[in-house]
């Protein structure tokens, strides 16, 4: 195809093409810059929201730490009370082995209803109230107590006269060693 346009029109067309190329290049460059600015604003928004979230979490942790401190104080108080209770129990350590012996001397079927130690000047007064299925169990229990504690125990007559379903009371004194 032969171009029959005059030279001046050819130059204008060439300049027009160059001008259109630069114009489209500037448009693309403008769009890229616009997208970069929008991206930077989005990044700024993201980082601000992360910073806000972290600040809120830090505040929540600080408020929780005050609650944790309060709970720790309560636990310390309970631990001190427990230590005090353990000290009281350890001061009664003389009673505990005696109680174990008394319980181990009981025959099967016997129940303990009441048990008390009262400290006197030179001894402990022991009182045992319980239930026995028969009088053989009571006699066996009495003999075991006399053997274990080396004391004399007198049973009430009503505990020996009934044959079955006996409520009994035993009282004796143990010397303080």
* Residue 153, Ramachandran bin (φ over 0: left; ψ between -120 and 50: alpha; else beta): beta
pLDDT tens track of the chain, all 177 residues?
567 778 888 888 889 999 999 999 999 999 999 999 999 999 999 999 989 898 888 887 777 777 777 888 888 778 777 776 676 666 555 556 777 788 888 888 888 888 888 888 888 888 888 888 888 888 899 999 999 888 888 887 777 788 888 888 898 888 876
pTM value > 0.85: no
At 39, is the secondary structure helix, strand, or coil? helix
Q: How far is CA 73 from CA 23, 59, 78, 80, 83, in A?
A: 75, 21, 9, 11, 15
Length of the chain: 177
Q: What is the pLDDT of residue 166?
A: 87
Q: What is the pLDDT of residue 34?
A: 94
Q: Which two tokens stand for residue 117?
A: 């130690």
Q: Residue 86 forms beta bridges with which residues?
A: none
Q: What is the pLDDT of residue 94?
A: 57
- Tell me the C-alpha distance between 103 and 96, whole Å: 11
Q: What is the pLDDT of residue 33?
A: 93
Contact 70, 93 (CB under 8 A): no
């Amino acid at each position: 195809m032969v171009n029959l346009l005059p030279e001046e029109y050819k130059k204008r067309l060439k300049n027009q093409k160059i001008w259109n190329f630069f114009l489209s290049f500037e448009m693309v460059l403008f769009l890229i810059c616009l997208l970069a600015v929008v991206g930077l604003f989005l990044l700024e928004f993201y980082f601000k929201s992360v910073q806000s979230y972290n600040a809120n979490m830090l505040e929540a942790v600080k408020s929780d730490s005050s609650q944790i401190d309060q709970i720790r104080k309560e636990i310390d108080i309970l631990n001190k009370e427990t230590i005090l209770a353990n000290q009281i129990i350890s001061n009664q350590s003389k009673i505990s082995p005696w109680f174990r012996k008394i319980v181990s001397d009981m025959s099967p079927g016997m129940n303990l209803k009441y048990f008390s130690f009262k400290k006197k000047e030179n001894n402990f007064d022991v009182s045992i109230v319980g239930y026995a299925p028969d009088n053989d169990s009571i006699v066996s229990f009495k003999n075991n107590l006399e053997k274990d504690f080396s004391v004399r125990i007198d049973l009430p007559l009503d505990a020996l006269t009934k044959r079955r379903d006996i409520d009994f009371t035993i009282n004796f004194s143990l010397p303080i060693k």
